[in-house]
Structure 1
Amino acid sequence: MSIEVNNESGHDVDEAEFAALARFVLDAMHVHPQTELSIMLVGTDVMTDLHVKWMDEPGPTDVLSFPMDELRPGREGEPTPAGLLGDVVLCPEVAAQQARAAGHSTAEELLLLTTHGILHLLGYDHVEPEEEKEMFALQRRLLLTFLAGR
C-alpha cells in the first residue's frame, strides 16, 4: 500500500502513526494492497480555502476527503481493485479545539478524523441517521481496535 503523509501544518505529529492507522483501516476494509492514499495536515488558512472552494462553507473544518477512483470496500478474499483512493486533508488546529471539548488528546482526535476521512473515501456518509449510525460505529470499532494493538 502506498500511503503518503505530508505535514504542512506546523504541528508536531507522528507521521508514521497516521500511515500505520491508514494501513490498518485499508486492510480491515479489504482494500487492494497496491492502492494509494494521501494524508495531508494543513493550517487553518489552507483548510479555510479548501472548505470554501469545495464545500461552499465558510471557515476551516476538521477533515475533508477527496475521492479519486471511487473505490468501495472489498470482502474477505475479494479486495477492491488497485487504484488511487484519494486524499484526506486534516486541520490540527480545528482538531485541537474539538479534542479539548471532547476531553481527549489532539493526537487521538486526528486519528479519529483520519479514520473518518478514509471511510468517506470508501463511500461511507452520515447524511441520513442510518448512514451515520453505521459509519460512526465502524469508525469507532476500527479506531479502538487499532489503538488497542499499539
Structure 2
Amino acid sequence: MSIEVANESGVEVDEAEFAALGRFVLDTLHVHPRSELSIMFVDTTVMTELHVQWMDEPGPTDVLSFPMDELRPGREGEETPPGTLGDVVLCPEVAAQQAKVAGHTTAEELLLLTTHGILHLLGYDHAEPEEEKEMFALQRRLLLTFLAGR
C-alpha cells in the first residue's frame, strides 16, 4: 500500500498517523495492497481555490476527494485490482473550527475527515438518507476501531 501524505498547510500534523489511518481503512475494506492513496493538507487559500474550481462553491471547505481509478472495496478473500485510489485534500484551519463546535480536538476532526474522504474515493456517498446512514456508520466504525488500536 502506497500512501503519500503531504502537508502544505503550515499547521503541524502527525503525517505518520494519517498514513497509518489510510492503510488501516484500505486494509479493512480489502483494497488491493498495491493501491495508491494521496492525503494532502492545505491552507484556506488553496482550499478555497479548489472548492470554487471543482465544486463551484465559495469559501474553503473541510475536505475534498478526487477519485482516480474508481476503485471499490473488496471482500475477504476476493482479489480487487490495484490502482490509484485518488487524493484526499484537507484544510486543518476549517477542521479546527468544526472541532471546537463538535467538542473534540483538531487532530480527531482531521482523522474523521480523512476517513470520510477515503470512503468517498471508494464510491460511498451521503446524498440519499440510506446512503448517508451506511456511509456514516462505516465511517464511525472504522475511525473508532483505528483509534482504539492506537
TM-score range, shorter chain: over 0.9
Deviations 1:54-94 (A, max 9, x none): 00000000000000000010000114210000000000000
Alignment: residue pair count: 150
User: Is the aligned partner of 1:57 residue 2:92?
Assistant: no
Counterpart Cα distance in 1 of 2:105 and 2:79: 34
Counterpart Cα distance in 1 of 2:79 and 2:65: 21
1:125 corresponds to? 125
Name the amino acid aligned to 1:24: F
Name the amino acid aligned to 1:115: T
Q: 1:1-150 to 2 correspondence within 5 Å?
A: 1-150=1-150
Counterpart Cα distance in 2 of 1:22 and 1:11: 20
* Residue pair 1:43, 1:91 contacting (<8 A) in 2 also: yes
Change (3 A) 1:54 1:27: same
- Return 43-52 or 74-83, whichever deviates more: 74-83
| Structure 2 unmatched ranges of 5 or more | none
Deviations 1:25-57 (A, max 9, x none): 000110000000000000000000000000000
- The normalised TM-score by structure 2 is 0.99
* Residue pair 1:73, 1:79 contacting (<8 A) in 2 also: no
Identical residues among aligned pairs (%): 87
SS of match in other structure, 1:80? coil
- The normalised TM-score by structure 1 is 0.99
